[in-house]
């Protein structure tokens, strides 16, 4: 119940921020008449003759430029020849976001497989169906992020990322079968291990989900340009629907 309340609070805060960001806060298009009046210059002052300027000498300008080069030759040359600093590559940033998201998923996928292997009876059936839906929804979410990255056609990164997600839960199942006589998820050591690893994966998933995915997809300046009107409503509906389905799986399991 505490997790449901926390998730609902997050969605409410995101919705409130989107509403105020889209309906006024900091988006003024009115003309500032006072500023225009302050910039007004009377015609009489415009007609005044300009003060005389000293005659231009080419030797003086060359000397001044040479003096600037002597003071800071690196900066003066850089102003003329160096391009502006390149921003961080969007592809690299998207890959980092996916890696953090996948790391959080893989951490607890191992223990999901271990818990499934040591379960018996009706608990095994319920857990099997719950984990099947859980892994399906997580696979769709992670796969959509991987598919959105413009990888090089010869890159093996997307294949490796998909493969790691696909084999992690079976690896956990193999570990659970191998340790079936020694590993008890209800024991003190088992609860401590699962709690620590789940806490680590929760921190990774919270950061990746809230800071790097949800905030960037729904609250960034780019998102207000790309997602407008019905498209933004559909995106928010997809987020709320995914949260509801995952919460339903968690409550059922």
Q: Return the domain boundaries, the chain.
A: 89-252
The string of DSSP codes covering 15-63 is HHHHHHHHTTTT------HHHHHHT---HHHHTSPPPP-PPP-HHHHHH
Measured CA to CA, the distance from residue 87 to residue 123 in angstroms comes to 52
Picking from 76, 20, 13, the residue whose alpha carbon sits closest to that of residue 239 is 13
Strand, helix or coil for residue 155: coil
The answer, as to whether pTM is greater than 0.75, is: no
pLDDT of residue 75: 46
pLDDT of residue 66: 55
**What does the buried/exposed string (b/e) look like for 118-143 if buried means 16 or more CB atoms within 10 Å of the residue's CB?**
bbeeeeeeebeebbeebbeebeebbe
Is the separation of the CB atoms in 118 and 176 below 8 Å? yes
**pLDDT by position in tens, the chain (length 253):** 777 788 888 888 888 888 888 776 544 444 444 544 555 555 555 555 555 555 545 555 555 555 555 555 444 444 444 444 444 567 888 888 888 888 888 888 888 888 888 777 887 888 888 888 888 888 888 888 899 888 888 889 899 999 999 999 999 889 888 887 777 777 888 788 778 877 887 888 888 788 878 888 888 888 888 888 899 899 899 888 888 888 887 777 6
Measured CA to CA, the distance from residue 228 to residue 231 in angstroms comes to 6
């Amino acid at each position: 119940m505490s997790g449901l309340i926390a998730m609902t609070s997050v969605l409410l805060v995101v919705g409130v921020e989107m509403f105020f960001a889209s309906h006024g806060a900091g988006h003024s298009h009115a003309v500032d008449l006072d500023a225009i009046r302050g910039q007004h210059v009377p015609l009489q002052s415009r007609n005044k003759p300009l003060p005389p300027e000293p005659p231009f000498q080419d030797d003086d300008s060359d000397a001044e430029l040479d003096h600037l080069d002597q003071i800071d030759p690196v900066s003066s040359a850089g102003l003329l020849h160096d391009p502006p600093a390149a921003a961080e590559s969007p592809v690299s940033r998207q890959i980092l976001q996916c890696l953090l998201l996948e790391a959080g998923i893989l951490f607890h996928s191992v223990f999901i497989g271990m818990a499934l292997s040591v379960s018996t009876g009706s608990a095994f059936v319920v857990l099997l169906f719950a984990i099947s839906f859980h892994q399906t929804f997580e696979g769709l979410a992670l796969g959509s992020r991987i598919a959105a990255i413009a990888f090089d056609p010869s890159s093996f990164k997307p294949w490796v990322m998909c493969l790691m997600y696909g084999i992690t839960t079976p690896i956990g199942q193999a570990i659970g079968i191998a340790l079936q006589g020694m590993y008890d998820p209800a024991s003190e050591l088992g609860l401590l291990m699962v709690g620590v690893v789940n806490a680590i994966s929760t921190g990774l998933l919270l950061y990746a989900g809230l800071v790097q995915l949800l905030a960037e997809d729904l609250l960034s300046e780019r998102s207000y340009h790309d997602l407008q009107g019905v498209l933004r409503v559909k995106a928010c509906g997809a987020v709320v629907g995914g949260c509801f389905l995952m919460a339903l799986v968690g409550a059922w399991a």
